[in-house]
Amino acid sequence: MATDARGLTTEPAVRVRNLHRSFNSDGGVLNGLDLDIAPGEFVALIGRSGTGKSTLLRALAGLDRDVAGHGRIQVPESVSVVFQDSRLLPWKRVLDNVVFGLRGAGAADRGRKALAEVGLAGRERAWPYQLSGGEQQRASLARSLVREPQLLLADEPFGALDALTRIRMHALLRRLCETHRPAVLLVTHDVDEAIVLADRVILLDAGVVDTDVRVELTNRSRSDAGFAELRSLLLDRLGVAADA
Amino acid sequence: MATDARGLTTEPAVRVRNLHRSFNSDGGVLNGLDLDIAPGEFVALIGRSGTGKSTLLRALAGLDRDVAGHGRIQVPESVSVVFQDSRLLPWKRVLDNVVFGLRGAGAADRGRKALAEVGLAGRERAWPYQLSGGEQQRASLARSLVREPQLLLADEPFGALDALTRIRMHALLRRLCETHRPAVLLVTHDVDEAIVLADRVILLDAGVVDTDVRVELTNRSRSDAGFAELRSLLLDRLGVAADA
Amino acid sequence: EAATRLELSAALPDKVPTGTTLRIGDPQIQAILGASGLDKELSDAGVTTEWANISGGPQSIQAFRADKLDCSSVADIPSLFAAWTGTSTKIVFQAVTQDPLDHPIYKLGVAPGVNVASPADLRGKRIAYSAGQAQGALVLRVLQKAGLSQKDVQLIELTSTGDSYVTALGTKAVDVAPIGAQNIKLYEAKYPGATSINTGIRDDASTLYCLTTAVEDADKAAALKAYVAIRTRALLWANDHPDEFAKAYYQDSQKLNEADAKAVVEINGDKGIPASWDNAIKRLQETADLLSTEQKHDKLDVTTLVDRRFEKVQADAAGDKVVTGDAS
Amino acid sequence: MTATLHTAPVTVPDTTDQRVVRRRLGPGHRIRFSFWFGPTLALAIWSIGSATGLIKPAILSAPWDVVVAFQDQWVNHDLLGNIVASLQRSLVGLTLGVVTGAVLAVISGLSRFGESLIDGPIQIKRSVPTLAIIPLFIAWFGIGEEMKVITIALISLVPIYIHTHNGLRGIDGKYAELAETIGINHGEFVRHVVLPGALPGFLLGMRFAVTSSLLGLVVVEHYNAVAGIGYMITLAEQYGQTDVIVVGLVIYGIFGYCADSAVRFTGRRVLAWRQTLEG
Amino acid sequence: MTATLHTAPVTVPDTTDQRVVRRRLGPGHRIRFSFWFGPTLALAIWSIGSATGLIKPAILSAPWDVVVAFQDQWVNHDLLGNIVASLQRSLVGLTLGVVTGAVLAVISGLSRFGESLIDGPIQIKRSVPTLAIIPLFIAWFGIGEEMKVITIALISLVPIYIHTHNGLRGIDGKYAELAETIGINHGEFVRHVVLPGALPGFLLGMRFAVTSSLLGLVVVEHYNAVAGIGYMITLAEQYGQTDVIVVGLVIYGIFGYCADSAVRFTGRRVLAWRQTLEG
Ligand SMILES: Nc1ncnc2c1ncn2[C@@H]1O[C@H](COP(=O)(O)OP(=O)(O)OP(=O)(O)O)[C@@H](O)[C@H]1O
Ligand SMILES: Nc1ncnc2c1ncn2[C@@H]1O[C@H](COP(=O)(O)OP(=O)(O)OP(=O)(O)O)[C@@H](O)[C@H]1O
Ligand SMILES: [Mg+2]
Ligand SMILES: [Mg+2]
């Protein structure tokens, strides 16, 4: 059970118990996974390619009706997902993709603002195919952020971004988290990114949470000793020598 | 003009002169880019999201017939492309995707071997949609590597891979390069990756080669001083403080 | 509107209640009425007509079954088939052609290069045959008259739609096929070497047949009585005014050009109103008998298909212009 | 380590365009005026065939004879009236059919229950010749305009239904997933995902529906019509006027071809978001 | 910093399955036996209508009368022979049409020049009523079996052509790009990219081609046929034998429905690589 900043036990935003999922008979992808995420908590999820990170996210998003398995899942009402593929509707222009499903008068303006924040001002009327890979990813991020959900599930939202753009997106995401305090589960392959952004980093292996570390660094700079220590711990669990 | 290991001038494998490309009237994506790549040379291409890295690769691959612009391009006969999206044919099983277009008796075996090398042994008969994001990317990589081209154009081939898998793919790519010595142009967002892998790193900005550095490190470990120096230079050119 | 039921044996009422509507498919008469001004007399008689541009067997039977039509002008075959398939109809009008053998409805087209000079030459020939259509019955009758049976010739099943018979002849897919007399000239012109012969039998049956339920409706029966009388006069008017007739029907309604329209009228010849239906009924019975043996239908007593109360209405309206004897 | 910061770009404007030439495997660019190729070719073959006597006038009237017949029909027989009557019929029928077909397709496409009710009957209907169903329609709707329009509506409903349904079912499942996480209702889903996603299918259906609605005229104008192209053809057949029949066919051909091209043109416009081999 | 290494998994097997329930926007799972729903419903309506007298026997014979007529046709009029004759005809015609249509579609789909030659005439052909073209065919191919098979081939060619062409042009351009970089020739491109990519379209075309080839029988068996379902219907129409017509229609319905379902079933099999709303 999670504890809040004052050490009090709170009802978690996400609660997963004994989650099993398998795509075929010869072995499960998730094998009895347990996970709690407190409201407003930022959890980074790392793990090898093909360990089941996306599978877990899809289970939390309720998109795996047809996948065999069992377990218990509780999530908040409003969930927003950034998919691993950016999944823009090809028949909607970028702005329409961002505000898709938003109601109310200010929707278009909010969408425009979100696009500007991810560096796509001026591309509102482009078709998705006219965007570069990273631009598509950012548009997809904008679509999720503009919704201000209680739970944000993001599947490698920065994978196709260069260092600078990535830092800007980090800042944007952090800012939004401070304002609306959603619970966040962010999949990333970049251990540094995980440590920089998250309150907690969990490592998925063999279908369960293999490692679960709380990031309690005051200085989240790479040169910090705690940072390096955490980094080597995680890389070690991933099977990599920290200096590789 | 490139010089080979013995300092002799050689005919480059890739020669680009004054390359212009633009998608609309209000500004070009590539604005007079010049680039030479020597045979067997490994060049890493970095740059902000949306600066035209993919546009350049597509020009080299001859896939931009319909894009406005001009300039001169020379490339070798046999070119292989790893696309930014993994672009597996959805109607072919993974193995068939890998050996697609390969001729000769041993094709299936070579494909199987390539799949095993990228860690997808046993998934030969899976449909593309049954692979995780990283697995798709690796299958696509296997497809390119199995062809042994004279020029390999790879557009962020490791973007969706975790640290361990990425290191394995680096090793695989390096091994293949040593054996067949293709010229390589690899787009990446990871500056460290660029330094670890490449003979030369070029940075694209404003449609031209902004920075072009040769990596002449004996020890390509992050802790090496030369590595750190090169890293800060590149990050600096990208607009990021090296320690961020 | 539950109109009073009229027994089929009862006398036809004279008074047409206002608003009585007849739904008729009789395009030729419709045109003549308009051209001759007889339509005014019809409405003066209290009959409202709802014209349908329907003629011929299959369409009228379909409309009868759906109860969307009261009467339709046809030759003799449809009323037989209506009976065989369970739709009860009555013939209320009979007309003949005044010189039926000189003005046949059908001739036998002969394919180019085929030698057929008389019906006797039909032996061994391939003849287009369409079981349910008037053309089919005609072929059977021609064979019967020539003393041939179905086995002596080769009947080629072929439905007559559009100009399919003309095409079949022209391309020598069949040797002989019945073709509308009005189209013979066109056919011979189109295919050099094509010829035609007369059938030598009467095919001039021309009737108006109605749903029995319409005849049993007292109001409609009264209207029909008026219609039959005026229809008689219309046919006679057309005999006297061939050019106006050609213009009103063949030119304006059937979209032929003036020359063709006049030619068709000329080919079709003058219509006659028989003083008695006896001969017509006799011929109808012969056709029914022939079809029932050759095509395996039930025996049929054709007197159940005619409503002879209209025989006199017709004859009275024609007055001294009736035809009698062999002509009828 | 050598760092070369970029130097100023070349000043002499060199606009040589030497690209990597790769064999194009797709169809390439649209040829301008290709719209006219097909009809022109057909006309040429027809004319040459007729002129050289390869196509006998008995089989197919020569183009020039058809032109004469066309003039005659236009001047003397109100061809325009026939065309207008026919177009009106098929337009009303088409509209009815398209709307109903699309609505049924969406219902049956999105609900398995709806599908099990709607789909079977439509499949059966379309396996059965229209000509054979007309007696039923006459019984239900009479022999007037109503029956004609409804028959045409039913004829054109079928391709719209099948194509829209097929297009809808062919939408990539990942967009439905996205829509589910976005939290929209069924109506919005239909508007924003289903309709645009099924649009290519619908448009293909339109191409068939349009021609069907025109061809349906031939069938329905057999019955109690006093104007219309189908009626004109029926009449001409009775009197063996080959040239008039061909006038009718040419009109069908022109309308069909134009309507089809219009739908395809619209398709290219509204499907600008697609990057396909169509280009 | 707290690092919790994972402890052994729970030992009591708890197989509760409590998932996030999200409103399904797609059509969901296929209903079992839904294949039978449509026909059963149609049969039920027909039976009830006939029994209650809502459907008069003159308009549509009651199912039981049709069964009697069916038996009669089977025993006395060689219904089986008719069916076999018809199926043979439509099968040969269909095969011809499908092959030609697919080949033409690939040629015209991949070459703008081929398209400009092929596409127009096919569009024009399909705008023109088959009935009206038959005289031409009779002139060219006689009134024998040849003409019938060719007519059916031409009827079923059209939907195959259009759908395959449309499917081909709808292939995502990025796969053509991939193929270009792979360095394959046109033949391989067709085999590995074009055909599988156009397969969904082709299969939809098949659904139309199959029914067209059956419906075409009605038209061609007007001409010089001595056996066949179309011939049976034609005869019955002339005689006005409603129950026999309905026997023919039911046979059409059954064949059409089964053929259609077979194509759809095949489609689901060979399109297993697709993740669409079809599921
Ligand atoms: N629809 C499917 N059918 C069969 N197997 C699947 C399916 N989807 C995923 N898998 C398999 O399940 C495993 C977990 O997949 P998942 O997408 O969750 O991995 P992941 O951790 O997100 O990997 P990555 O980092 O590469 O995206 C993989 O081995 C994948 O091949
Ligand atoms: N088809 C197109 N139509 C219009 N604009 C396009 C098109 N393709 C790319 N662009 C634009 O051209 C610019 C360069 O795109 P490109 O894909 O080369 O970027 P990139 O450097 O590969 O970026 P990323 O790292 O995000 O993949 C972008 O701004 C993009 O929006
Ligand atoms: Mg994943
Ligand atoms: Mg890119």
pLDDT, one tens digit per residue, over E179-218 is 988 888 888 999 999 999 999 889 989 988 998 898 888 8
**Is residue A8 over pLDDT 60?**
no
The pLDDT value given to residue B243: 58
Residue of B nearest to D17 (CA): B70
User: What's the pLDDT at D121?
Assistant: 83
- Compare CB distances from E240 to C85, C159, C163 and report the shortest one's residue: C85
Backbone angles phi, psi at D23, to 5 degrees: -60, 125
Instruction: Give the residues across from E188 on adjacent strands.
Output: none
Domains of chain A, by residue range, sit at 14-238
Name residues whose C-beta falls within 8 Å of residue D62's C-beta, 6 or more positions apart in sequence.
Answer: D46, D47, D50, D51, D55
* pLDDT > 90? residue B52: yes
How high is the pLDDT of residue C3? Answer: 66
Query: Mind telling me how many Å the CA of B175 is from chain A's nearest CA?
Result: 17
Q: How far is CA B129 from CA A207, B91, C237, D174, E278, in A?
A: 20, 10, 83, 11, 15
A47 Cβ below 6 A of ligand 2: no
ipTM: 0.87
The 10 Å Cβ neighbour count of residue E46 is 18
| pLDDT tens for each residue of B93-134 | 999 999 998 888 889 999 999 999 999 999 999 999 999 999
- Is A52 a pocket residue for ligand 1 (Cβ < 6 Å)? yes
Ligand 3 centroid to residue E13 C-alpha, Å: 28
For an interface test with B, which of A24, A51, A54, A162 has the most B Cβ atoms less than 10 Å from its Cβ?
A162
Give me the phi and psi of A9, to 5 degrees please. Answer: -75, 130
Q: What is the pLDDT of residue C6?
A: 78
- For residue E257, tell me if it sits in a domain: yes
pLDDT, mean over chain A: 89
Residue pLDDT, tens place only, A131-171: 999 999 999 999 998 988 899 999 999 988 988 899 999 99
Rounded Cα gap, residues A55 and B130, in angstroms: 11
pTM of the predicted model as reported, rounded to 2 decimal places: 0.88
Residue-wise pLDDT tens digits, D4-44: 445 555 556 677 888 887 777 878 777 777 778 878 888 89
The CATH fold assigned to A14-238 is Rossmann fold (3.40.50)
Identify the pLDDT of residue B244. Answer: 47
Mean pLDDT, residues D50-60 taken together: 82
CA of A54 to the centre of ligand 1 (A): 7
Q: Which residues are CB-contacts of D53 (< 8 A; sequence separation ≥ 6)?
A: none
Torsion sign (Cα): B217, B222, B223, B228: positive
Q: Is the CB of B50 under 6 A from ligand 2?
A: yes
* Cα C266 to the center of its chain, rounded Å: 17
In terms of DSSP bridges, do strands B200-205 and C20-25 run parallel, antiparallel, or are they unpaired? unpaired
Ligand 1 atom closest to E275 (CA): 1
Kindly state whether residue E43 falls inside one of the protein's structural domains: no
- Is any atom of ligand 2 closer than 6 Å to the C-beta of B84? yes
Question: DSSP letter string over C100-114?
Answer: TTTS-SEEEEE-TT-
Distance in angstroms (rounded) separating the CA atoms of residues C311 and C295: 30
Q: pLDDT tens digits, residue range D87-120?
A: 999 999 999 999 999 999 999 999 888 888 888 8
Strand B14-22 with B68-74, pairing? antiparallel
Residue B212 near chain D (CB below 8 Å): yes
Atom from ligand 1 closest to the CA of residue A53: 21
CA atoms within 13 A on the CB side of E111: 10
Q: Note whether residue D276 is domain-resident.
A: no
User: Residue D137: is its pLDDT beyond 70?
Assistant: yes
Q: Determine the number of helices (DSSP H) and then strands (DSSP E) in chain A.
A: 7, 9
Interface probe with B: pick from E168, E181, E269, E270, most Cβ of B within 10 Å: E181
E172 vs B: CB within 8 A:
no
Q: Is the CB of A28 under 6 A from ligand 1?
A: no
Measured in angstroms, the CA of D173 and the nearest CA of chain B are apart by: 11
Q: Residue A123 has what pLDDT?
A: 92
Token pair of E268 as six digits: 């689901």
Beta pairing class for C176-180 and C106-110: antiparallel
Cα angle at C81 between C80 and C84, to 5 degrees? Answer: 90
Within-domain flag for D243: yes
E77 in a structural domain: yes
Cα–Cα distance measured from residue D211 to residue D252, given in angstroms and rounded to the nearest whole number: 9
Are the C-beta atoms of residues E132 and E219 closer than 8 Å to each other?
A: no
Residue at token pair 């192209």: D229
Number of domains in chain D: 1
Residues of C in contact with E141 (CB under 8 A): none
Is any Cβ of chain A less than 8 angstroms from the Cβ of E24?
yes
Give the residues across from B154 on adjacent strands.
B82, B186
In angstroms, the CA E179 to CA B101 distance is: 8
Is residue E241, in this structure, part of any structural domain at all? yes
**Cross-strand bridge partners of residue B185:** B43, B153
- In angstroms, what separates the C-alpha of D10 from chain E's closest C-alpha? 31
What is chain D's mean pLDDT, rounded?
85
Q: Which of residues 183-212 of D touch E (CB under 8 A)?
A: 184, 186, 189, 193, 200, 204, 207-208, 211
C-alpha–C-alpha distance, residues E247 and E242, integer Å:
9
- Subunits adjacent to chain D (3 or more Cβ pairs under 8 Å): A, B, C, E
Contact list, C162 vs chain E (CB under 8 Å):
131-132, 135
pLDDT tens across D210-238, in order?
988 988 888 888 777 778 888 888 878 77
List the CATH number of the domain containing E216: 1.10.3720.10
B136 CA: nearest ligand 1 atom: 26
Domain assignment of residue E24, yes or no: no
Q: Which amino acid is at C4?
A: T
Locate D202 and state its tokens: 């619908």
Q: Using CA positions, which residue lies closest to atom 6 of ligand 2?
A: A130
Out of A63, A92, A147, name the one closest to residue D177 (CB). A63
* pLDDT tens-place values along chain C, 328 residues long: 456 887 778 787 888 888 888 899 888 889 998 888 888 888 888 888 888 887 777 788 888 888 888 999 988 888 888 888 888 899 999 888 888 888 888 989 998 888 888 888 888 888 988 877 788 888 988 988 888 888 888 888 887 777 778 888 888 888 999 988 888 888 888 888 888 888 888 888 889 999 999 889 888 888 999 899 899 989 889 888 989 888 888 888 887 888 888 888 888 888 888 888 888 898 889 889 988 888 788 888 988 989 888 888 888 888 887 777 777 7
Cα gap A10→A181, rounded to integer Å: 15
A238 CB neighbours in chain B (<8 A) are 162-164
Residue A2's pLDDT band (cuts 50, 70, 90): very low
Which residues on neighbouring strands pair with residue B42, listed in sequence order?
B184
End-to-end CA distance of chain B: 36
Question: pLDDT for A13-40, tens place per residue?
Answer: 999 999 999 998 777 899 999 999 999 9
For residue A147 the two structure tokens come to 């919704």
Q: Examine the pLDDT at E14 and tell me if it is beyond 50.
A: yes
Q: Is A73 in Cβ contact with E2 (below 8 Å)?
A: no
A120 CA to centre of ligand 2 in angstroms: 12
Q: Which residues of D touch E159 (CB under 8 A)?
A: 208
Strand partners for B17:
B72
Q: What are phi and psi of A116, to 5 degrees?
A: -60, -40
**Nearest CA owner, ligand 2 atom 1:** A130
Q: Residues of chain B whose C-beta is under 8 A from some C-beta in A?
A: 23, 46-50, 54, 84-85, 119, 130-135, 138, 155-156, 159-167, 189, 191, 221-223, 235, 238-240, 243-244
CA distance D147 to chain E (A): 15
Alpha helices in chain E (DSSP H): 34-52, 63-76, 79-110, 112-127, 130-141, 145-169, 173-182, 186-189, 195-220, 229-239, 242-270
For E255, the domain range is 57-271
User: Least CA distance to E46: which residue of chain D?
Assistant: D121
In the chain, the amino acid numbered A181 is: R
How far is A89 from chain D, CA to nearest CA, in Å?
7
* Atom 18 in ligand 2: residue holding the nearest Cα: B52
Segment 54-113 of chain C within 8 Å of chain D by CB:
54, 59, 62-63, 65-69
Q: Which chains form contacts with chain B, at 3 or more CB pairs under 8 Å?
A: A, D, E
State the number of CA atoms in the 13 A half-sphere of B122 facing the CB: 2
Dihedrals φ, ψ of C200, to 5°?
75, 10
User: For ligand 2, is residue B188 a contact (CB within 6 Å)?
Assistant: no
